[in-house]
Amino acid sequence: MQLALPFPAQAASRFFRLIWFFWIALGLALGSVYLFLSSVYYPVSDSPRSEKRVLAMGNGVLPLQDMVDSIDSFQQTPFDGLILGIATSKDTRGVAWTVFGDQRIDQPQFDRLADRFSGFNWGRLTDNFLRVNVYPATVDWFDNFDTILANFEAIARLAHQLGFTGIMLDTEQYPGIEIFDYPKQKYADQYDYAAYDTQVFLRGQEIMRALNRGYPGITVLYTFGLSIGSQFGGGRDLLPHTRSGLLTPFIEGMIDAAGEMTALVDAFEASYTYSQEAEFLAAYKLIKGFTRDIYARNPAAYGEVVEAGFGLWLDQGCGDAGLSSTTCRFRPETFQNAVDLALKYSDRYVWIYNQSVNWVAGEGIPPEWEAALDSFRRENSP
């Protein structure tokens, strides 16, 4: 049965077309406004590749002591800097795993390293960092922090003496470490979350001041930053109940106490497997926009000192044999694209983690991967 239209069919067709065009125009207008506001409030860095840096971290990066004999090999890599550990007899994993505890670092060892690498020619590796972990975390936030503060000042001073850019502060809570998990704190039965929040904020300030005493104007990369807390839909109300709830006041304390020319880089380990532009753009806006404007305790201070960075896990899923075009999560072309996007949306730093590639011996890098890895080489490197 054909319904009778209240006006001629030709007029009806024209009317619906007008409605359709109206919604299209409205959608385009709103989209344009959104993109404009996004660019105003969350402007993406348009710095050229020559002003950005790609760093290497992981098993393929040798301890600082071994770099004398390996520096020539690292000149052949596409990296602009290394995130280095320091070998020590106190822990087979290195000094990084001893700083955040109750043992003082070996200052004579640091003095010898400063003398040994004084004037060392790092070549194309212009932006190097010393690694520090929040492990072993044997000291509670309410315990005496003198040793930890002395350790942070010492490692920052060594980074300065070596001519490095700063430190990589690995804030990941490895198995057995609950330093940012409020219910698992030593004195959780005595102090509520608000008291711990205040205390951890204070410790963040103290650690930042210690770093600045050792290295005025230091750059600190951290694997997980304030943005990890802002991802919770319930905001700060959920912090007492999340595994990383105390990371927020810790980073905020560091932001609050950061000295002149100091930079804190949210190096965003959550991007390890990113490959799509929308992922990097959303993460950038999370770090530079939402976290600053909605979540940060002091948005102005956050905006002044915090930069956005990205981490990528080169051989995630590859196993122990090195890179492969069949087993790895990334393929050569997708990894090359991921690095390009990370460089596009980072303010300065992109870091690449790996477990199975030996950069010195060139092991674990099949021919089909060589071009992909060389694609992000900085053309004007020394």
- Lowest-confidence pick of 40-44, 78-82, 182-186, 336-340: 40-44
Q: What is the mean pLDDT of residues 272-290?
A: 95
Predicted local distance difference test score (pLDDT) of residue 236: 81
Predicted local distance difference test score (pLDDT) of residue 363: 87
Residue extents of the structural domains in the chain? 8-39, 53-374
- pLDDT of 298 strictly over 50: yes
Predicted local distance difference test score (pLDDT) of residue 232: 61
Of 276, 94, 74, 70, whose CA–CA distance to 170 is shortest?
A: 94
Predicted local distance difference test score (pLDDT) of residue 155: 98
**DSSP string spanning 20-83?**
HHHHHHHHHHHHHHHHHHHHHHSPPP---GGG-EEEEEETTSPPGGGHHHHHHHHHTSS-SEEE
CATH number for the domain whose boundaries are 53-374 = 3.20.20
**Residue 131 forms beta bridges with which residues?**
168
- pLDDT of 18 strictly over 60: no
- Lowest-confidence pick of 196-205, 230-239, 313-322, 359-368: 230-239
Task: Count other Cβ atoms within 10 Å, centred on residue 12.
Answer: 12
pLDDT, one tens digit per residue, over 39-75 is 445 667 677 877 899 999 999 999 999 999 999 999 9
- pLDDT of 306 strictly over 70: yes
Q: What is the mean pLDDT of residues 109-128?
A: 96
- Give the highest mean pLDDT range of 3-17, 20-34, 273-287: 273-287
- Helices (H) and strands (E) counted in the chain, each on its own, are 11, 9
Mean pLDDT of the chain: 88
Helix (H/G/I), strand (E/B), else coil: 307: strand
CA torsion angle 57 58 59 63 (round to 10): 50
Question: Is the model more confident about 380 or about 339?
Answer: 339
